[in-house]
Each structure stands twice: as structure tokens, then as C-alpha cells.
Amino acid sequence: MALTDSQYEGYQEKEHEQDLDNDSDIISSTPIVQVKQVFKSFGYNSNSSSSRSRSGSKPSHEVLSGVDITINRGEFITIVGPSGCGKSTLLNIIAGLDKPDSGDVSARANDGLSTVRGIMIFQEGALFPWLSVQENVEFGLKIANIPKHERTKIASRYIELVGLTKFSRYFVHQLSGGMKQRVAIARALAMEPEILLMDEPFAALDVHTREMLYEELVGIHKTTNKTILFVTHNINEALLLGDRVLVMSAALRNIRKEFAIDLARPRDLESPELYELKRQILVELEGDLQQVASRR
């Protein structure tokens, strides 16, 4: 994730070129990540003789079965599905934190290289409690050997972007849950990733805080035009945020259905369009539950 000199110079240029008043979301037709026929299984963690096959080997539990996804530059994609359907496993594979049993995950960075700078944001922000907000956001830049005055400038810009300038000297224990997640987002953005990979980042927050962060994340996406892959079990969240909603299936261990949402953000869940999309997603999830139950 370290920034090279050329990448850093490119960042400075982009900082001046960014148009904060652009009202249109720009989605490129150029794929940034392509997932092709990805399979993944895990062995059961049991020492009982019943958990082993006659050959003596541990049986495996298939989590992903031939998953195909194309993520275009600038897209905001949400993946929705029940717990245990493979959402986080797929995200970890795309992030390079896990490897598929077979299949391919290819990426194309802005500079044409096959390595895309992606950063994960988890449900828990994984902040350093002994560092202030400013120091947390600067941390990755410090590891990348960015000079102090420059990393302070970069961190301050993203702290301002998430609305925490007044809290830059605060420590983690002095922040609310929503503020902690804003710090985690600012720290990720400071490293200029080409894709943000978000694993249920708002799941532990109360409804009011989540709704505020939806608005902020939409604003950040519009301002930075970052590609975002957002995993959630919350259908409303998926509909409010995504350009596309991918419904993961525990029965198929794959994408059951994809829904494109051609509606401007912010969105109204009570609108006829979103109401109908939610109904269709619920039908897909209900069908999936019935299919899983029939296999038992």
C-alpha cells in the first residue's frame, strides 16, 4: 500500500484537479476488478470421527461456487445476503486476504499495472487507541515515508472531508461509534486506494448514526469518484447506496441475481422504484431460504 514518489506526485496533481461541484457520478466502462469462476471451500473444524470421510480426510464446506463479478471503475456496488452466504469470503479474496481454491481475480490499476491499491474497512475500525484522530489518519502515510508536513496536509484534508476537523486531536475513546468509522474511512482515503472494500462497516451502529453515514459516504463517493464494494446484510443499506445490488445466495453459493439502480442519490426508500426493488430482493432471499431448507 506504500506510495511511490510518482504515485505521490500524481496524488498532489489530482488534489488540485478534483472538482467538488461535479453533480454527475462518473462510472467508467473499464473494469477495475474481474472475478472469474472463483471456488472456495473450508474444512470443518471438528475432531469427531463423524466429521471425517471414509478416506480419513476432513470434509469441506463449499462457500463460493464459480462466482463471476466485474467491477467497473467508479462504481458503488453493494452485496447483500444473509449471514454465512459467502459475502465476506468473497470480499477477502478480492482484497487478497484469502485465496480461492480455483478461479481468477484480475485487476487493472490506473497505471495499467495488475496490482490495484485496495483497502479494507471492517465493522470495527481497527484504530490505534494510543493515537489521536490526526495521527491515526497519518499512520499509513508515515509508514510510506511521506514527509511530516505533507502527510499532515493530506490527513487534514480527509479529516475535513469526513467532518472531523474539530476532533483531530481527540483520542479513540473520546469518539462515538460513527465518528470512529469516519476516522477509518479518512485513514483509508488518505492512502489514495483505487477501491474501497467495506465489510458491513455500519452494522454495529444505531439507525440514526447509520443514516447520517449513508449521506456522508454518498458524498465521499461523489467527491472522490472512488470505486466501492460494500458488503451488507441490510437490504435498505444496499438500495440506498449501490449502483448495482448483487444478491448472494447461500443455496447456490453464488450471485443469485443482480439489480441495477439507475436513480440519483440521495434516495428515498418510500419511492415506488426502491419499494419494488426491495420486494424483488426479498422474493429472491425467501426463495433462497426455501431452497436451503429443502436440502436439509
Sign of CA dihedral 89, 94, 96, 99: positive
Question: For 261-279, what is each residue's pLDDT tens digit?
Answer: 999 999 999 999 999 999 9
Quickly state the pLDDT bin for 189 (edges 50, 70, 90).
Answer: very high
10 Å CB burial of residue 286 (0-12, 13-18, 19+) is: exposed
For the chain, list the domains and their CATH numbers. Answer: 30-44+59-117+194-296 (3.40.50.300), 128-192 (no CATH)
Res. 282: pLDDT tops 60:
yes
> Are the beta carbons of 227 and 196 closer than 8 angstroms?
yes
3-class DSSP assignment, residue 228: strand
Question: For 118-171, what is each residue's pLDDT tens digit?
Answer: 888 987 768 999 999 999 999 999 999 999 999 999 999 999 999 999 999 999
Distance CA 17, CA 180 (A): 29
Distance CA 12, CA 287 (A): 50
More confident residue, 117 or 103: 103
Per-residue pLDDT, averaged over 174-186, amounts to 94
> Are the beta carbons of 12 and 72 closer than 8 angstroms?
no
State the pLDDT at residue 292.
74
Quickly state the pLDDT bin for 112 (edges 50, 70, 90).
Answer: low
Res. 15: pLDDT tops 70:
no
The DSSP code sequence of 32-65 is: EEEEEEEEEEEE----SGGGS-TTSPPPEEEEEE
State the pLDDT at residue 24.
42
Question: Which string of b and e fits 179-218 if b means at least 16 CB within 10 Å?
Answer: bbbbbbbbbbbbbbbbbbbbbbbbeebeeebbeebbebbb
Amino acid (1-letter code) at residue 223: T
Question: For 39-66, what is each residue's pLDDT tens digit?
Answer: 999 875 544 443 344 445 555 789 999 9
Q: What is the DSSP letter of 260?
A: E
